[in-house]
Structure 1
Amino acid sequence: MNATAQRPVDRWFASYSGDHVNETNQLIHVFAVPAILWTVVALLWCIPVFGTWVKSGMWAALAMFAAWMYYYKLSRPLGFGMLAIFIAMAWLTRWLEALLGLQNLFYLAVGVFVLAWIAQFIGHKIEGKKPSFLTDLTYLLIGPVWVLSKFYRKMGWRY
């Protein structure tokens, strides 16, 4: 076993990958996991913020920052990738709020959340294994960065 296999990120990915061997399940995850991540951002975005100097999105920003710190600690290259994703998701969410209003943003996020989780459970039914997060909630954070790592590998980028 080489030294890089000892990194915590590699251990997380090896374990997560063991629950996601089926190609159909992996494909479902490539679409459903980012959708679920966006819905969490959007739902947090919709939590009311009291006061006049802070706008909607503060709770989402705090959660994205906390998650980003976790990802950056796991892997700097993946951390920077997740930072770009979080910025894009915040921009998209802000744009959708301006376009739809906060209440309709909430309804959209709930709808996407439900559909994406249905897809996830269908994928795991095909896989024949339970979702990883049922054994450790940390896998809810690992899923998005695992999908990103697949993109990094496809591009030939180190993480």
Structure 2
Amino acid sequence: MRTITDWLTEYGESHTNQTNKLIHWVCVPAIFFSVTALLYSIKLPFAIGGVGGVPVNVAFITIALVIAYYATLSLTLAIGMLLFSSACLFLCYTLEQAAFMPLWLVGVIIFVTAWVGQFYGHKIEGKKPSFLKDIQFLMIGPAWLMSFIYKKIGIQL
């Protein structure tokens, strides 16, 4: 089984161009948020705590699974991703309450725009996106960025 260091090193090999890296700093979190928003828009027919409790949506369940995946790679990474995921969920809640546009539509617009940016970044880089080699790299992108934040503030993976 690959370690988090193995995953991050291999991911980094196709992300060396500074412009591509900058694009990833914007687009990877945007894609993560947009997927969260799309999944948040899918409501489930029950609530935590029964009637009148906290409504459940697919994003809650998916994020729990995502955090469990990150925990298999690094507990500290999982904690950071839990904090970021929680911020995404809060933003979804806030946008849904504001009701200026359906949350799913916000998710679609951000998703498409961010992926256009990602592919443009890889065109500049001259290398294919890592996920075309292994789909798990879709989960490693956010971890790769989190690893830079951790390094900057002195947290070990």
Question: Normalising by the residue count of structure 2, what TM-score does the alignment of the two structures yield?
Answer: 0.90
* SS of residue paired to 1:49: strand
The alignment covers a number of residue pairs equal to 153
1:12-39, Cα deviation, whole Å (9 max, x unpaired): 0010000101111011101100000001
* SS of residue paired to 1:33: helix
Q: Output aligned runs, 1:6-155, within 5 Å.
A: 8-51=3-46, 53=51, 57-100=56-99, 104-155=102-153
Identity of aligned residues (%): 41
Q: Which has the higher helix share?
A: 1
Q: Give distance in 1, aligned partners of 2:54 and 2:75.
A: 30
* SS of residue paired to 1:50: strand
Query: 5+ unaligned residues in a row in structure 2: which ranges?
Result: none
Q: Which has the higher strand share?
A: 2
* Contact persistence 1:46–1:56 (CA under 8 A): no
1:99-152, Cα deviation, whole Å (9 max, x unpaired): 126x61111110011110000000000000010001110001111111111111
Q: Give distance in 2, aligned partners of 1:43 and 1:7.
A: 30
Q: Give distance in 2, aligned partners of 1:107 and 1:126.
A: 29
Q: Give distance in 2, aligned partners of 1:32 and 1:40.
A: 12
Q: Give distance in 1, aligned partners of 2:154 and 2:44.
A: 42
